Structures are given as structure tokens and as C-alpha cells.
Amino acid sequence: MEWVEVLKAIGEFGALAVIAAIFLILMVRQNKNQETMFIQLFNEVLDQMKVCAGGHVLTEEEDKTAIKIDNAINLLIQNAVTDLKCSRIFVVRYHNGGKDMNSVSFLKLSVTNESVNHGCKPVMSEFQNQFRSIVGYPVNEIERTGHSYVTDIESIKTSDIGTYELLKSRGVRSYYAHSLVNSTGYVIGSVVILYRRDNTIQENQEEIDKYLMHLSDKISGLLNVKTITIK
């Protein structure tokens, strides 16, 4: 295992869990005659790594619910790509990416669902466990107003050069993002619509706004069916 992978795992699962897992792997390799016992212990460690915010390992029923929710969200955003003729739609979820040496939580995000139009390469795998500051402008706007609409990314070139360069490097012309909230109204992520520069469709902001509000309400509702968070 590479050190960078070890450090990443520590950030996601905690140092004790990772050290225990590595120790068990080494013991299995050195004690073939006790392999069954160590595999059982290793599986118990893995169960602890899958602990969610509720403090328990996902049951089979909860796992089935999570899959159904995920499939429903995927269907919604697939239909939205067709309806809005956009280049890409993805769902962003906020989560705690671990704690620093002062026990302050890292504020991170991950893209959990994505649907793209023809000719667009998926980017979901590139945006996992990223600091929220990587897209500071939309994150701050969403926290402040509940949405972030940029009809031309050139308009944020001076206010957030990082977000601007990230979007520009992927050929983005405009984006529309709306908050996802939990049952108490707390922002837990966003649903984002992107139009690339090679997309010749004429955007109707009023139509997009109405559609996006409805879409975010549906996705927020699905995510609140059963609270299953990223750890």
C-alpha cells in the first residue's frame, strides 16, 4: 500500500482502524494456519469502517434503501439532461473529511451522482473527498442564498480565480446550482447543471430556475427518506 493511500485512508476511516487493518493483513500473511480467525477479525474491522452517522453498520434493509434512493436520483438527473439539453448534471454531497491536529473538522464534498450528455466525459471520480474551498464561490453563494447561478464564468474571474480556472479547463460556459437540504433546512449539498461552450443550446434562465428548484426539492426529499451520510 502506498503511503499516500495510507494517509488518505486515515483521513477517511481514522488512524486506529487503518493500523488495525494493516496489522491484520500482515498477521494473515505470516500465520497461514490461523487465516480463518484473522479474516474474521479483519471483516469486523471493515464493518467498523462502514459505520455511518447513526453509529451503526448499515443493515441489509438500509443498504437496499440506499440503492433505491441512488437509482431514483440517477433517473431524475438523466431525465433533466434530456429536458434541459445541458452538458452535465451532478449531485454534490457535503461531508466531514476527518479532523486536523486541532480536532477541527475538514469541510469536504463529493460528487455522488452524475449524468452527462453525448460527448461529455464523466468527472465524478475526480471529485471525491475534495475540500469545499476548491469551488469556494458557488459553495458560499449556496450557503448565503440557496443557489448560485453564473450565466458566464467570465463574471467570476476576479472574484474566484480558482473556481474560474477549474471550470474554464473543462470548457464550462455557465452553471446553475441549487441547494439540497435536510429535514431541518440545513444545506447538505447541491445539484448542479453545467453548459459547456460547445453546447449551442440557448439557455432559458427562468425555465432552468423553475426546473432546478423542483429537481432539488425531489432530490432533497429522497435523501431524507433515510439519513445515510458519507463518512
Cell of 194: 453545467
| pLDDT at residue 20 greater than cutoff 90 | no
- The H or E element that residue 81 is part of is helix 60-84
- Domain range summary for the chain, segments of one domain joined by +: 3-49, 60-223
pLDDT tens digits, residue range 90-120?
Answer: 999 998 866 555 555 568 899 999 999 988 8
- Residue 5's pLDDT is 52
Distances from the Cα of 189 to the Cα of 32, 185, 197, 202, angstroms: 46, 11, 25, 27
- Residue 29's pLDDT is 61
The yes or no reply on domain 60-223 and CATH 3.30.450.40 is yes
CA-atom Rg of the chain in angstroms? 20
How far apart are alpha carbons 95 and 146 in whole angstroms?
18
Question: How buried is residue 228: exposed, middle or buried, by Cβ count under 10 Å (0-12/13-18/19+)?
Answer: middle
Dihedral class, residue 119 (left if φ above 0, else alpha if ψ from -120 to 50, else beta): left
pLDDT tens digits, residue range 40-63?
Answer: 655 555 555 554 444 456 677 777
Structure pTM?
A: 0.69
Band of pLDDT at residue 128, cut at 50, 70 and 90: very high
